[in-house]
Every structure is written in structure tokens, then in C-alpha cells.
Structure 1
Amino acid sequence: MELAERAAVGIDNARRYTSQHAAALVLQRSLLPQHLPEQSAVDVAYRYLPADSRVGVGGDWFDVIPLSGARVGLTVGDVVGHGVHAAATMGRLRATVRTLALLDLDPAELLTRLDDLVAQDSDSHAEGGPIDEALGVTCLYAIYDPVSSRCVWASAGHPPPIVADASGSVALSALAPGPPLGLGGLPYENVELNLSSGSVVAFFTDGVVEDRRTDIDIGIDRLAQVLTWQRCPLEELCDRALSDMPPGPQADDATLLLVRTRRLGADHVADLELPPEPTMVAHARTLTERQLAIWGLSELSFTASLVVSELVTNGIRYATGPVMLRLIRDRCLLCEVSDNAHTAPHLRRARRDDEGGRGLFLVAQVSQRWGTRYTSSGKTIWAELAIP
């Protein structure tokens, strides 16, 4: 009788463990991107290998986030621990990173805000509650700009990326990681790097380069060696990288995100510096119409001229220096106006007797998306127009 009871308890525990593991795996995979959006800025390939079933799934995540100005945000992170709680924490942090990224924050500022949120959550768990799984999470966030070929990244305790340039030279980034999320201490810092078109950048979690039998330095050297084949297709590079992992059960999730950079040619970008004079609005409209005719987008002339007119007028009215107009022909038409003012315009509902206040409303109505991002010298207001 006692033997039967023990057997029943063992079977019940096994069923519970199997159910929890399956739920965690489904949860994690449902929260990870299933289809990454196509980008003009980068080509992407990735692999995600969950930990062995005897250990459970962990909290690795990655994401590719389209940003304004044809830029792209790239992130990879690793939650401490395994199971349902780790997978749920991963989903929460990934969603938070995506939300903050869409505010056009630079990497160091994004990680600072994410760190504050994790610290606040951990404080709420401190008094008798469960331990917050987000405490001690590592995360790396990068922004790549295909117009300037400039990449900026920052790390919260996460291994720095490995870069293989177009010539085949491979180097570990000079990024000095800041503290993991929620632990406080040193501030996060941005590292800037100009990437030649065709460079391959490897973002990874420690499960790719470290296990019980392999030191992390050896694993990083092994991954760097794979990247010397950077002219190979990214899918093949992913397979090569993970085939070098030692056989047998893995104690941790392994996530690898490979990115090959592209550069938008000069024939896809038009820049114009305008003095802060009201007469320059007409000049900006003329330039826009002329450039769209060159690009074969004359159908967009009226709409684009309207958007440019409103944004340039706004810049000239409130800025104290020159206004920069940029047009980018990408998967859509991008109109950007930059000035030295740090105050952002706000969409509002104009009353019938108001003489102004309708410009941004018109921009919002005729564009796919619009927004504001801040720079060290001021701000940029941008709008995206669909190409017929």
C-alpha cells in the first residue's frame, strides 16, 4: 500500500513537472518573435535553443525593432533562472524594451529607464513577496542607422557583440558592460562604431559560448572564428556557430542573433539646410517635388509637400537656428525635419475659431506614422508616407 502511494505521488509530480515545462516552453516561444520584419538596414538570422528538458526553459529573448529614419533597434537579453516565472519575466521585459525603443531613446537611456523599472518592481517584492525574477537580468540594446552606417549600443551586464567587418577582420566590441538590471551602481554608457556595409554582428547569450565544460573566453573565441566566414549566408553561419557547441544536454538556453548591415546609398537620401526664414518653406516644397520626380514618386508630391510644409513651418517658427530637411526613399517615403529646439510639438484639437494648431493634425492624417525623437543638438520630427 505504501509503495503504491509513493508511486502515485511520483507519477503526479512527474505530470506536474511535464505540464509546467510544456507551459513555460509554449509561453516563451509565443513571446519571442516568430517572423522578424524585413528591414532595409539589416539582414537577420537567428537561432534559439531551449535548455534541456531536465532543466527546463529559461528566459532568453531577442528582438528586431523598426525605428524612425530607416533605423533598426536590436536587443538580446537573459533572465536568471528557468521555468514559467523566467519565461513570463522575459515576456514582460521584452515588451518593455520594445515600448521604450519606440520612444526613440538612445541605448544607454533605454537601459537606465529599464533598470529603474526593474528596481521599482524588486522593491515591491521585497516585503515578504516572491523574489523578482527580473533582478539581475542582463540585456544589450543597439541602434543601427543605415544612412550614416553608425551603430550605437549599451549593455546591462550582457556580453558585448562580436563584429566581423566586410574585410573579414573579427573583433570583440570595446563595450564595457554596465551592471545587470535592478542592481544599481555605475551608469550605462553608449559605445559608437561605424560599420562598413556587409559587416556581420553577432549578438548572443552566454548559453552560446559557455557551459560546464567550456570557459566563456574559449566559447567567444570559437564564435569569433566562425564569423571569419562572414561572407557565407547568415543561416549557414548560425548553423556553423551552434554546431560547435558541445554535444549533450545544455544547462542554459542558447540564443544567437546574427545581423548583416546594409547602407542606404546617397541616391536614396536628400538633405537640405534651410535658414530660419519663412520664405524657405516654399523652397522646401520645391525641393521635395523635384526630388520625388527624380525618384519616380510624383504621385506623392502633393501629400509630401503638405507634410514638409507643415514640419518646416513648425521648425522655423520655434527654432533659433537652421532647419534641416531630409527625405529618405526606403520601403516608404520618410520626411524628417530637424532643429535645435528641445520642445516637442503636440497633437491637439483646434477649435473652430483657432487660427492655427491644425498642422500636425493634417500630418497625422496623411502619414502612416509620425513622431519626434531627441538628439544631442535638438529634435527631429518625422513622418512616413506609404509608397503607392
Structure 2
Amino acid sequence: MPSSDAYALVRRNVGAVEPTVDSVVSSAVHELSLGAERLIHDVERCLQREVPELWEDPDVARLTRENIVKYFAAALPGLEQGSDPSEIPLPAIGGEGARRLAQRGKSVSSTLRGLRLAQSCVVDRLLEEITRLTDDTELAGAAMRKLVALVAAYVDRFSEQEVIMFHEERDRHLRQRMSVVNEAGMRVGTTLDIVRTSQELADLATGYFADAVTVDMLDSALGNCPQRGGVPVVRRVAQQSVMENGPEPSIPPQQLHSFPDGSPLALALDSGRPSRHIHASLLEDRQAARPAHGPDTDARRIHSTLVVPLRARGSTLGVAQFFRHCTPDLYDEQDLLLAQEIAARAAVAIDNARRYTQAHSTALTLQRSLLPRVTPSQSAVEVACRYLPAAAQLGVGGDWYDVIPLSGARVALVVGDVVGHGIHAAATMGRLRTAVRTLADIDLPPDELLTHLDDVVLRLSAEAMAEPDVASAGDIGATCLYAVFDPVASCCTLARAGHVLPAVVSPDGIVTLLDLPAGPPLGLGGMPFEAVEVDLPEGSLLALYTDGLIESADHDIEAGLTRLRHALAQRTPSLEAACDTVLEALLSADRPRDDVALLLARTQALGERQVATWSVDADPAAVALARADVSAQLSVWGLEDLDFTAELIVSELVTNAIRYGRPPIRLRLIHDRTLTCEVSDASSTSPHLRRARIFDEGGRGLLLVAQLAEHWGTRHARQGKTVWAECALSPPDIVPSTLGLDS
């Protein structure tokens, strides 16, 4: 039975008329509104018990409480007035909880379940009130049905709003995440540089979801020092913050440090697993990880952090930390997943940069070891040279230069360029440089030398094609310019194999490009090379270089040659300064697009005071006259100490020319860094050392020459040959006495 007060209320709501369904519903809602605070408390306790996930996150819990209050504040007055559920306003903050769940990566089902539980609590209380208001079973049943329908309709509207906002926020969050990931693909790893890639990661993260970022790389991953006593040593390679006066890491860039055992950073490096930390635990971790020289500035303002290892191809390379101190939201699992995704992209880029840096360093070391460290001593030319590797993205190339002393005070100048970049190009360059030196040692003319070098390249190409692991580099090609300068005749013989033209600066400063037959690049085979002889008076400057010097992205080859002429025409105090002038004029501040080799040679002449020449009759009696001429010339040069050695060598060489060669015979002495004795004849037959038997009357002459001379050999000309021997200006202490003469 309803109380008299409740029954009076019903009567009051309808005047003197009998109670109706609407009046009973209105009275029940009114009674419930009077105890709204108790109802809100009961609903909150129910939700905490049945839907605990709504209370795990402080922000979601706060919004849930506010939603309960706003829910009753909006729904109960409308129900009491009999308003249509579609017209009852929804709470102003409705949907915020769903948005927060979407941001946290949680399901909206917990919110919907909470709404249904709240609906059940309200309906149960309303049904209690209806039974108190009337004992008319039919009226009570109709009021209950209407009340359930009204509450369900309102809750359905509320639920629909939650679902819509949840999906909107989830879609927005996914779009934002994909946008960050896509931008990471464009902004992180733009270069093959470890430090820059790490800084790109820090810059990207601070622009989207972090207030501060630090990146530490294992020093062993950078190819530096190994671990000390099992503790990983890391190097701070990048850091970034959104504000100048915010908390800054106490570890400066490029400083080595380590993380204590058990710290989140040490665990991340050891296990390769990321972690998320908030407030107090973070402070302890950061205090434990910092070096002893001081704490981080305002570290207590940081309220959450992410620790994400940088892993690529199964290896841990370092660790990145993402901090929040300005953004009020704590990091959640979705933030951790996003940090992992962009850190994984950055790790692959860093590993690519690391591998490339190691390969580039190896190739550069190999190439520099194959290039001449110092130019050999010789008097034919004064030389200065430069080698500049290409930009890091392109890799080391196969450019080389060389200066090779030859017999007769001559010198060979070489510049070459192997097609391609990397270790294979550098190794090929080393093999070709060795081949050139070997061919130069037998004194081949420039055109013949290039022909043999072409055969070498063809063999190398065939070998590379036969190896599957280097098949991609099978088509080996190269260009080369080979020049031989003779300071006695002041002339230079040049031949080129597809190489750029050399430049000559005359003693009066006029710059010209030598017009040489092009010749095919090395590796084509079957095509001839042609040599050209040009006069180079003393003081002329010969410039040999590779195409990387004159080719550039901002100008063509013709413009590069024009710049080269202007640079060579400038007066400089030395050849070293001339090299610097040329490089500054033709290359930008950045690394060149291709390797650059530059070789400058200023010619010097050996005049009549340093060269003596005689014609020798093809008569054994001429040997004594030749010895006398040599002795007299040595006295003029003040080299009397070499008289005995030189006479023995000249006697042997002239005797062999008379016996085995053909006239005309010519004897020449060259006084340079050494004393060179040369005997030329018209025969192409080369002498050679042989072991003489005990009773042989001859065969020991060349052995004697080899013992007395520093170097000796034979060079061939178009007609005939020249046998030469070089003697040190200080005579040997002991002269072999057990060897006889052929003459």
C-alpha cells in the first residue's frame, strides 16, 4: 500500500482526478530526484565493482564520475516533465569518456556496459517508487513499461553518442598515428649518417608526442670501443626538447656513459623490450642512469617516459627515451606502440647508415692504402697531387694517380678512373695501378702500355663475371692517361684511353688543352691507342685529373674546363697552392659528386752540363776510348770516386753492344740523383743474366753490372734498344774481385 504522502502527491499531480500512467511516472521520477545523491553513489559503487576498467585510468575515472552526475542532472528533469526521450538533452561532456578510451586504445564496450548497469540501477529504483505510489496492478504495470521504454530510449541515445564519438576519436587517432608513421618514413633516414638519422628521430618525436627525446647508441655498434667489464658503453648521439627552459638531459652530445644494472635503460639494452614509466619510478630510473657530474634540470617536472630499444636485423643498436613534462596526458600503451614503430624505422635507417659507414670506411682505407703515400724522388718534374673521395652517399670510387721514376731520368705520370664506387672499384683500382707499375717497369711506350692494360681489364672483367657474388660488377671499365716526360729532351709522350684531356700551362702562363687522340676506354678490347709527343720546355705545368674535377651538377664539362683554365692561369707561390686553387675554383664546399684525382707536374730540364753523349764505333778497340771518355767526364763532374765502377759498367755494356748488337752505337752519361750509364744500339735482342760455368770464358759481365749498379735494365724503342745502369753517387765499399769481364 502506498503511503498517504505519496498517494497525496499523485492526487496533487492530477488534481482531483484518478492517477494516470503519466502521473505515476512523473511522481516516481520526482521521488527519485529527491534522493539523487544517494542514487549517484550507488551507481558509482556498482560500476566500480562491475566495470573496474573504467577506473584504472585517472582521467577516464574522472570523466565517468562527471558523466554519472550529468546523466542524472539531464535525464531526471526531462522524465519528470514527461518529455520525449529524443528531446531530453544529453550531458555536455557526453562522449569524452569514449574519446579517452579510444585514445588509450581500449574498447568502447566498457562504457556501454556501464551505461546499461546505470540504466538497470535507475529502473530498479523507479520500479520501487511506482509500487509505493499505487496498488493498482494494471496502472503500475503500464507505468513500469512506459518508464522502462523512456529510460531505454534515453540510454540508447547516450550510447549512440558514445559509440559515434569513440569511433571518431579512434579513426582520428589512427589517422594521426599513420600520419606520424608515414612522416617518419620521409623524415627519418634521409641520409646515411648515424648522428643525423638519430637527430631526425628526436626531432620528429618532439613534434608529435614527446616533450623531450634522447637517443643513445652502443659505442660498440658504432665500431668504437668494446664493452667495459660487461657493462654496455653508450654514446649520446641526439637529443631534443620542445622548450628551451624545460628539463634538459645532463649528458651532453657525444659523451660516453653507461647505465647501471637493473635500470630500465640497461634492461632495454639487454632484453630488447620497451617499457613505460610514470612519475616516481621514472625519477629514480633517471637519477640512477645519470652520470655523477650533476642532476638533470627540473627533472621532477617530467611525469612519464617511454624507453624503447633501437633494434634492427636482430641486434640492439641503442635506446631512445621519450619524455613528457608539458603535455598533461600520461603515456599509454598506444603511445608506446607508436614510439616502437617509429623507433623501428629509425633503427633500420641507423643500421643501414652504420653498415654503409663501415663499408665506406673500409673502401676508403683500402683506396688510400693503394694510392701513393709520398711521391718518389726524381728530378724530371716537381709534383703536387690531391685525392678527394666522393660524397658519402655515392661511396668511394676508383680514381688514382701515380708518379713512376723511369730509366734515363725520365718519369711516368699516370691518372686513371675505374667505373663505379665501393670496395670493388677500389680493389680494381689497386690491381690496375699495380699493373701499370709492372708495365712501366719494362719501359713500354705509352700506347703499348695502354694496350696491355686493356687486356688486363678484359681479364678482370671475365673473372668478375665468372663469380656469382660479384656478377653485378662484372662489366669492369676504366679510363687512363699515361704520360712519360724526358727531362733531357724536354719532351713528353702521352696516350689516353677514354680519359679527359690534360692541360698544359706554358712558362709564360698560356693555358691550353692538349689535343690527344681519344682512344677507347679500357675494357673494350681490339682497338688501338695512339701516342703523341709534345715539347714541354722547363717550367711548363702539366695538369692531369679525373672527370670528377670538371663535372658538376651546376655546370657542364665545358664550363668546368673554362674554370680549370682560369684557375691554372693564376700565379701561385707553389704547386701545393696551385692544387688548392684549382679545387676551390671547381668544387663546392660539399663533397664532390664523384671522386677527384688531381696531379700537377712542373717540368725541369737536364742541360748539357748534366748529360754527355758519344758515338761508339762497332770495333772492340772503341771500348778503351769509351772508358777514357767516361773517366774524363767524371773528372769534370767531380765524380772521380765513381771512376772505377763506371768504367767497369761502361766496358761491359759497350762490349756487349759491339759483340751482339748492331750499329749505330751510342754511349750516354746522365748526372742526376744517380749516375746513369746508357748504351744504345739498333738491335732488339735483350741481354740477360746467366750462370757462367767454372771454365767458361764469358757470361759474367752482366752479373758484374748487376753487382755494381743500384739498378739496371733494358728499354726498347721503335728501333733498337738501350741497356742502362744506375750507380749511386757514393761508390760501393767493396768491389767484387772474383768476377771477370766479357771483354
TM-score by length of 2: 0.51
Residues 211-263 of structure 1: per-residue CA shift (max 9 Å, x gap): 12211111111111222235642111111111112333421011110000000
Q: Is residue 164 from structure 1 mapped to residue 505 from structure 2 by the alignment? A: yes
Q: Is residue 24 from structure 1 mapped to residue 363 from structure 2 by the alignment? A: yes
Distance 1:201 1:144 in 2: 10
- CA RMSD, Structure 1 to Structure 2 (Å): 1.5
In structure 2, the residue corresponding to 1:144 is in which secondary structure? strand
Residues 88-119 of structure 1: per-residue CA shift (max 9 Å, x gap): 11111111111111110011000000101111
In structure 2, the residue corresponding to 1:328 is in which secondary structure? strand
Distance 1:133 1:36 in 2: 32
In 2 relative to 1, CA 24–128 (structure 1 residues): closer, same or farther, beyond 3 Å? closer
Q: 2:643 aligns with which of 296, 301, 320?
A: 301
In 2 relative to 1, CA 137–234 (structure 1 residues): closer, same or farther, beyond 3 Å? same
The higher-RCO structure (CA 8 Å, 6+ apart) is 1
In 2 relative to 1, CA 376–217 (structure 1 residues): closer, same or farther, beyond 3 Å? same
Deviation at 1:330, TM superposition (A): 0.4
Distance 2:591 2:572 in 1: 31
In structure 1, the residue corresponding to 2:421 is in which secondary structure? coil
The AA in structure 1 aligned to 2:395 is: G
The AA in structure 1 aligned to 2:513 is: L
Q: Which moved more, 1:64-73 or 1:208-217?
A: 208-217
Deviation at 1:84, TM superposition (A): 1.0
Distance 1:147 1:226 in 2: 29
Deviation at 1:121, TM superposition (A): 2.3
Q: 1:291 aligns with which of 625, 633, 651?
A: 633
Q: 1:144 aligns with which of 479, 485, 489?
A: 485
Q: 1:120 aligns with which of 451, 454, 459?
A: 459
Corresponding residue of 2:704: 362
1:1-388, aligned counterparts within 5 Å?
3=341, 5-127=344-466, 129=468, 130-132=471-473, 135-229=476-570, 232-244=573-585, 245-388=587-730
Between Structure 1 and Structure 2, whose CA radius of gyration is higher? 2
Deviation at 1:321, TM superposition (A): 1.4
Deviation at 1:177, TM superposition (A): 1.5
The AA in structure 1 aligned to 2:426 is: A
CA contact (8 A) 2:435 2:453 kept: yes
Distance 2:572 2:705 in 1: 43
Distance 1:142 1:31 in 2: 20
Deviation at 1:10, TM superposition (A): 3.2
Distance 2:535 2:553 in 1: 36
CA contact (8 A) 1:118 1:134 kept: no
Deviation at 1:86, TM superposition (A): 1.0
Deviation at 1:58, TM superposition (A): 0.9
In 2 relative to 1, CA 382–296 (structure 1 residues): closer, same or farther, beyond 3 Å? same
Choose between structure 1 and 2: higher strand proportion: 1
Distance 1:231 1:20 in 2: 38
In 2 relative to 1, CA 165–366 (structure 1 residues): closer, same or farther, beyond 3 Å? same
CA contact (8 A) 2:610 2:671 kept: yes
The percent of aligned pairs where both chains have the same amino acid is 56
The AA in structure 1 aligned to 2:714 is: T
Choose between structure 1 and 2: higher helix proportion: 2
In 2 relative to 1, CA 164–133 (structure 1 residues): closer, same or farther, beyond 3 Å? farther
In structure 2, runs of 5+ residues without a counterpart are 1-336, 731-743
In 2 relative to 1, CA 304–58 (structure 1 residues): closer, same or farther, beyond 3 Å? same
The AA in structure 2 aligned to 1:107 is: P
Distance 1:128 1:331 in 2: 47
Deviation at 1:47, TM superposition (A): 1.3
In structure 1, runs of 5+ residues without a counterpart are none
Deviation at 1:159, TM superposition (A): 0.6
CA contact (8 A) 1:134 1:181 kept: no
The AA in structure 1 aligned to 2:607 is: G
Residues 324-361 of structure 1: per-residue CA shift (max 9 Å, x gap): 00000000000000000100001011010111100000
